[in-house]
A = this chain, B = another copy of it.
Amino acid sequence: MSIHPTAIISESAVLGLDVTIGAFTIIYDNVEIGAGTVIESHCEIGIGNAMSESKVLVIGKNSLIRSHSIFYEGSTFGSELITGHRVTVREKTTAGLNLQIGTLSDIQGHCEIGDYVRFHSNVHIGQMSVIGNYVWIFPYVVLTNDPHPPSNILQGVRIKDFAAIATMSVLLPGAIIEEGVLVGAHSNLKGITEANFVYSGNPAVKVCATSKIKLQDGSGNPAYPWKERFKRGYPKSISDQW
With an 8 Å Cβ cutoff, the count of chain A residues facing the other chain is: 61
A104–chain B nearest beta-carbon distance, Å = 7
Q: Does A195 make an interface contact (CB < 8 A)?
A: no
A172 to chain B: which residues have CB within 8 Å?
A: 185
Q: Which partner residue on chain B sits nearest A47 by CB separation? A: B67
Taking a contact as CB atoms under 8 Å apart, the answer to whether A142 and B142 are in contact is no
Contacts of A136 in B (CB 8 A): 149-150
Task: Give per-residue flags for A200-235: 1 if the beta carbon is below 8 A from chain B beta carbons, else 0.
Answer: 011100000000010111000001101001101000
Instruction: Tell whether, in the assembled complex, residue B142 and residue A139 are in contact, meaning their CB atoms are under 8 Å apart.
Output: yes
Closest residue of chain B to A222, judged by CB?
B148
Contact (A148, B213) CB under 8 Å given A70-B67, A167-B170: yes
Contact, CB under 8 Å: B26 / A151: no
Known: A42-B42, A85-B70. A144 touches B167 (CB 8 A): yes
Tell whether, in the assembled complex, residue B142 and residue A168 are in contact, meaning their CB atoms are under 8 Å apart. Answer: yes
Integer count of this chain's copies in the complex:
3
Complex Cα distance, B88 from A23, in Å, reads 18
How far apart are A118's CB and chain B's nearest CB, in angstroms? 7
CB proximity of A196 to chain B, nearest CB, Å: 15
Q: Is the CB of A152 within 8 A of B23?
A: no
- Apart from A41-B44, A86-B88, A185-B188, list 10 A-B contacts with CB within 8 A: A68-B70, A70-B85, A88-B103, A118-B150, A122-B122, A140-B142, A142-B167, A148-B226, A150-B164, A153-B216
What are 22 inter-chain pairs, A to B, with CB distance below 8 A? A8-B23, A23-B24, A26-B41, A67-B70, A68-B70, A70-B85, A88-B103, A106-B121, A106-B122, A122-B124, A124-B139, A138-B144, A144-B185, A147-B216, A148-B226, A150-B164, A151-B223, A153-B217, A167-B170, A168-B188, A186-B188, A201-B203
